Chain A
């Protein structure tokens, strides 16, 4: 086949061949998610019949809900061409602070405020490193992921910090039969999908992810949009932390350890392109459910956490390979 030209002449590589319409409609990464979503419950129901009960699915999703919430915002970050591996660590740190200040006597509303502001600060620090210092986001957020987790470790040591009695179990509250955490994720998904699809902000996120230099030249405020995304992810991680700890009643520094893998996996399984410019909230949302069902099935089958992570690691690689394959045919 032809070798790639080193510096392609402008007109030579300009016109990419048009794709047939059926390909455009059917060969999309979200199809992969839909496919998996259909297959998985079928497989699960064969081995673990009880996992098909709707109530059961809804209530077990509450465990995944915090991660799914962060994954939804993370999807926007990835579409914009960056990545953030630190939300799980931010979640742990803000949750530890949330519990610790309440133990020290701070009233609940103020504790919430502190927690959210801290999340905002952590997100802004990421933004500072990536947007202003122009560090590569993947490795910079690996740095902050380690750093934030370390700070949580400094704060909490090896201890479990307890939360106020009444706070525990909030995740079981249901509205119209649907647990609150699930609703939060649903509402967030709807809002974010609207943001991404119908607003100029969402449009510009796609443009930045497709070609940041062109976006800058077109007058799009790339730096402020990216900062907003990182900051939002920071705030959302604080919210996710508050959701998470209501299930456990206590918090340790290792809350959500490995959560970054699950979040990125949700985004990838949902068809987000790792290099930016493509992705959908619907896909990530469906992938969140998929992961919840899978995790539940693995727990029921008594798989160790590490074994589960092992499978997730495989899935991550496989899903990226597949989405990369689908997208790289049309990109460039």
Chain B
């Protein structure tokens, strides 16, 4: 079709190729990597990051960033767990509403501060990263909420499955991905998100309600982080104020950035982010099988973010150069 679109397409194929190559290499080093059991492990690593990555993707496309997703996850998980502990009679599925609702509120606060004080999102969410984490500590009195307080049916969502041996939380993640795909490509608000990321100065002139869209985008990111919070409780069956969600934002941002979403906004696809999450999960799953300690993970995420940024920058500059020389070739 044309140069720019083919670059994008190449991006997703590139990630896919990277996944294939990586799995092949690891598979050769340790054939256990390519078993169905291991695929299940990889699959179970994905849902939390996937869900939060959908939200983060929208935020980054809007030319912002949300560093507080980990802390939002922790806080929502903690509040939900506390609710279960203090009010054991409450129906377990209400937990979803509570977690998502709290997450949405936290996200809304981020968005409101960014708009009201005209501050860069990265600074505000850096502050709320610590703020929300601290609130988690205060609310829980620094104590973990143990297994027995998490409702059975909730925990079962990570084990039981309605179909194809896929646990419920995986189904939820798939649903979120599909909804995000529809939102980003087929809803008016979704397209407005791309618009304000592509040219923030032009957006108000074209009648796009920038304030509303920004608030929406951060609320969605927060809500999805909240959903990831209750999924955490389901998966791990405990909530701990210091661990739950700590460092999570880096995994999420790494996945999104690998997935071809540009830091400058306006560009990004759901498919790319899905592949990004998949790649990171493969890497995480490969580590123990290769005898590499889990402590390496942070280093890898950091390195991955750096590499993805460099690639993003190079693609952009090449694209600009390509356009320039195309223009000079014009008759």
Contacts and interface: CB of A to CB of B under 8 A. Distances in A.
Interface of A: 6, 129, 133-136, 138-140, 142-151, 153-154, 157-158, 253, 258, 261, 264, 274, 304, 306-314, 316-317, 320-321, 324-325, 328
B118 interface: yes
A143 B137 contact: no
B137 A274 contact: no
A313 B134 contact: yes
B133 A310 contact: yes
Contacts of B293: 154, 157
B295 to A, nearest CB: 4
Interface stretch (B34-42, B123-131, B177-185): B123-131
Contacts of A306: 133-134, 136-138, 142, 241-242
B295 A310 contact: no
B302 A147 contact: yes
Given A146-B305, A310-B135, A153 B263 contact: no
Contacts of A328: 118
A134 B313 contact: yes
Which secondary structure characterizes the binding site on chain B? helix
A219 B290 CA distance: 52
B217 interface: no
B300 A320 contact: no
B94 interface: no
Interface residues of B, number: 47
A274 B123 contact: yes
A157 B296 CA distance: 9
Contacts, number: 142
Interface of B: 65, 67, 113, 117-120, 122-124, 126-138, 142, 201, 205, 241-242, 247, 250, 253, 263, 293, 295-303, 305-306, 309-310, 313
B124 A310 contact: no
Contact of A324 (B118, B137, B298): B118
18 contacts: A129-B310, A136-B263, A142-B67, A142-B253, A143-B306, A146-B247, A146-B301, A149-B299, A150-B297, A153-B299, A154-B296, A306-B138, A307-B134, A313-B133, A314-B127, A316-B127, A317-B123, A317-B128
Task: Kindly name the residue among B136, B302, B310 whose own CB sees the greatest number of chain A CB atoms within 10 A.
Answer: B302
Contacts of B126: 261, 264, 313, 316
Task: Kindly name the residue among A144, A158, A310, A324 whose own CB sees the greatest number of chain B CB atoms within 10 A.
Answer: A310
Nearest to A328: B118
A281 B67 CA distance: 28
Contacts of B135: 310
Given A154-B293, A154-B295, A317 B305 contact: no
A317 B113 contact: yes
B130 A258 contact: yes
B179 to A, nearest CB: 27
Task: Kindly name the residue among B128, B130, B137, B295 whose own CB sees the greatest number of chain A CB atoms within 10 A.
Answer: B130
Given A153-B299, A313-B126, A313-B131, 7 more contacts: A133-B313, A146-B305, A313-B134, A314-B127, A317-B128, A324-B118, A324-B119
